[in-house]
Structure 1
Amino acid sequence: MRYDESSSPTMIVEGKATVTTAPDQAVITIGIVSEAKQVIDAQQQNSSVSNQIIQALNKSGIPSNDIKTKQYSIRPVYQYTEGKSILTGYEVRHLLEVQVNQLQQIGTILTITTENGANIIEDITFKTSTPHAAYRKALQLATLDAIGKAKELAKTLHVQLNQTPMKLVERSAHIQSRPTEKMVLSASTESVPIEPGELTFSAAVEAVFAYTNF
């Protein structure tokens, strides 16, 4: 049956879908925090540790282009005594982002960074090297969900549905990764359980369908 879409009644439905996939990459944010009475001393200490960590990561197989500075800051440190603030020194904080393409390396990387002077992990964020494929799958399933809902509505209303949408709009996209909580590195990180879990990709569409009475 041919539809005169200019005069046919329409229904609007929303389709949703979620796809999960296992991560195959991770980004570790490593912190090097140094304190000294003089700012130049704090900077030199931090620079020395940072360079040592980078060199150790390079030797372990992490290329330089997978290591980058996320944040670098210098702030004064005060001690408060009897209502007065006394400058006691300076803190230099350097955060490095390390891209890990083999998840089994995470424990080794944590151990290396600890042994070479890192004292904070800001977070570990897991991701996939094929995010677009996972999202496109969710989008496809969301579209099928919208068509399925339209069919059910047509069945309930006892009308004939044109299953090709007059209009289809991508409404939202959401990727949920699972970062770890901030933690202080201990002397031994091999015992720290790091579970990648799964990544969730969600999609939603709005579809407009024409229908007619039998």
Structure 2
Amino acid sequence: MIRALLASTAFLLIASPALADDVHPTLSLSATADVQVTPDYATVRSGVVSRAATAQQAMQDNTNAMTAVFDALRRAGITGNDVQTSQLSVTPVYADRTEPRQAQNQYEIIAYETRNTVSAKVRDTTRVGNVIDAMVSAGANNIQDVSFGAEDTTTAMDQARRDAIAELLARADLFADAAGFELCGITRMSEDFARSPQPMMMARMESASTPVAAGQLSISATVNADFCIAAD
């Protein structure tokens, strides 16, 4: 019933301006649908944190360690645009506070800390554990994050939209049948801002390397609509 009204509503509003001005009670609903996809790449964010008495020495120590990390990534086949520096900082390390309200510039600097983080895109999700192990063996001491993604989620997103709309129309029919009224069309339809793919329950991949689970990504779509309720 509702599907047929989708086409008729726009025609009636154009052909009969007076009808468009009529005020009808409204049923507002929303529906969400999820579609699961298998990730085809992983992003590993890892790097080196170094501390030394001077900023220069902290930077030099960090540079030496990160050079080894980049070499390990190249040996693992991760090069070019799949490697990107995501953080580089040098900050002073202050002595413990003695007075809570003391200004920061009055604290004693006891060392300097350098943080260098690289994001590595691993296109074979079965090798994520091996890549992490290679980075750690090369000197990485700060594993920040491992996330999974898919290059093309267009088909999955469109399916999620179709499923959400089907659920929305079925729900509208249910409300109309349960409450005993007739629907006269859809006056408004919108989609919520698409959410980034979310990781679902993971299936562990056992290997001699660090165990990492790729699992599934959940592609979600939410559709909202206002249905006009026919006058008695």
Shorter-chain TM-score range = 0.7 to 0.9
Structure 1 segments, 4+ long, off by >6 Å, are: 81-84
Larger fraction in helix = 2
Which of 214, 221, 226 is the equivalent residue of 1:196?
A: 214
Counterpart of 2:220, as a letter, is S
Instruction: Give the gaps of 5 or more residues in structure 1.
Output: 180-188
1:108 and 2:130 correspond: yes
The CA distance in 1 between the partners of 2:85 and 2:155, in whole Å, is 29
Q: Is the 8 A contact 1:177 1:199 kept in 2?
A: yes
Q: Identity of counterpart residues, as a percentage?
A: 26
Q: 1:55 aligned to 71, 74, 77, which one?
A: 71
* Corresponding residue to 2:93 among 73, 77, 88: 77
Aligned residues: 204
Q: Tell me, in whole angstroms, the C-alpha distance in 1 between the residues paired with 2:221 and 2:193.
A: 6
Larger mean CA deviation between 53-62 and 15-24 belongs to 15-24
TM-score, with length taken from structure 2? 0.75
**Normalized per residue, which structure has more strand?**
1
Corresponding residue for 1:32? 48
Q: TM-score, structure 1 length as denominator?
A: 0.81
Quote how far apart the aligned CAs of 1:121 are. Answer: 0.3
Mapping of 1:121-136 within 5 angstroms? 121-136=143-158
Alpha-carbon separation, structure 2, partners of 1:102 and 1:25: 6
Gaps of 5+ in 2: 13-18, 100-105, 201-206
The structural deviation recorded for 1:142 is: 1.2
| CA shift for structure 1 position 95 | 0.8
Q: What SS does the corresponding residue of 1:201 show, helix, strand or coil?
A: strand
Q: In structure 1, the residue corresponding to 2:190 is in which secondary structure?
A: strand
Give the counterpart letter for 1:107 in structure 2. G
Q: Give yes or no for contact 2:130–2:210 (8 Å, CA) kept in 1.
A: no
Tell me how far 1:191 sits from its aligned partner: 5.1
User: CA offsets, 1:30-59, max 9 Å, x none?
Assistant: 021111212111111211221221122112
Bigger drift between 129-138 and 143-152 goes to 129-138
**Structure 1 stretch displaced more, 198-207 or 75-84:** 75-84
Of 139, 144, 149, which residue of structure 1 is paired with 2:166?
144
Following the alignment from structure 1 to structure 2, what is the Cα–Cα distance between the partners of residues 205 and 92? Answer: 47
Distance in 1 (CA, whole Å) between partners of 2:115 and 2:183 is 62
